[in-house]
Amino acid sequence: MKEFFVIGNQTSSSLSPLIFNHWFKKYKIKARYSYVEVDDIGFDTAVAKKLENKNTTGFNVTIPYKKRIFKHLKTKNVHATQIGAVNCVSVGANTKGINTDWIGYMGSIKNTKIKKSGKILILGFGGAAQAIFYGFSKKKYKNIIVFNRSRKAIKTSGAIRFTKKYSLIDKHLKEADLIINTTPTNPLNRKQTKLIKTSTIISDIVYKPKETTFLKNFKENKKIYGISMLIEQAIPCFHNWFGFSPDVDSELLNKINSKI
């Protein structure tokens, strides 16, 4: 039986096994999807052991190892290389890493009307945030600003850019069309929250709980929940492994909603 899994440091609460095992059953695929929970010391050993297992066919990588997985790969696709992070691996003679996080986030906003000139604020700049920035840049959005607690360089096709300090965010909050929180906490204080207009779309990539501490501050705004990105990034992972895209049916959505 083919084996798949998600590896990271808090994967016991991941909904990826639920999603993929639903699809395996639906399409009568002889495979199982589990999780591997590791710490920094055990990560490389755990990956090496899994790669030696002849049944291991593919896996997902989550925080904080989307960069560290590179050393175990033979090739990476262009998106993973440019983003600098991998979240999906195909195992074989040519073990390959790709990034579907950027596809996942862009898929999660497909039903929103955000202009290419709209102001987009990204809070935090870890692996997922870098993928989101890449997605917006690739789709030719022009006004993306990243705020982070420490100064980080942003990979772009043009001149080098850097993240901005949160101390500079207030004036941008007033003008934002979309605000995306990619941190596990709420990086805005109450005063800053009140600067945001009700027409601003609010997004959080954390999916459990569905209504995060950050999202609870915005009762009148349209929201994009983290679970939509999780589902949307899983679809191209499945396609990468099996050659076709799975349906997101009502049964799967009901299973997911019962868990968040």
> CATH number for the domain including 9?
3.40.50.10860
Instruction: Supply the pLDDT for residue 161.
Output: 85
Say how many domains are in the chain. Answer: 2
Cα-based distances in Å from 15 to 167, 200, 216, 257 = 35, 28, 22, 11
Tokens of 55: 């049944």
Task: Give the pLDDT confidence of 110-149 residue by residue, as tens digits.
Answer: 999 899 999 999 999 988 999 999 999 999 998 999 999 9
How confident is the model over 194-210, as a mean pLDDT? 96
Residue 258 has pLDDT above 70, yes or no: yes
C-alpha span between 73 and 76 (Å, rounded): 7
Is this prediction's pTM over 0.85? Answer: yes
Residue 158 has pLDDT above 80, yes or no: no
Residue 159 has pLDDT above 80, yes or no: no
66 and 82 together in one domain: yes
Residue 7 has pLDDT above 70, yes or no: yes
167 and 232 together in one domain: no
Domain ranges, residue 211: 104-226
213 and 115 together in one domain: yes
Reduced to 3 states (helix: H, G, I; strand: E, B; else coil), residue 78 is helix
**Residue 5: strand pairing partners:** 34, 59
Residues classed as catalytic: 66
Instruction: Supply the pLDDT for residue 226.
Output: 96
How confident is the model over 215-227, as a mean pLDDT? 96
Tokens of 42: 């055990």
157 and 133 together in one domain: yes
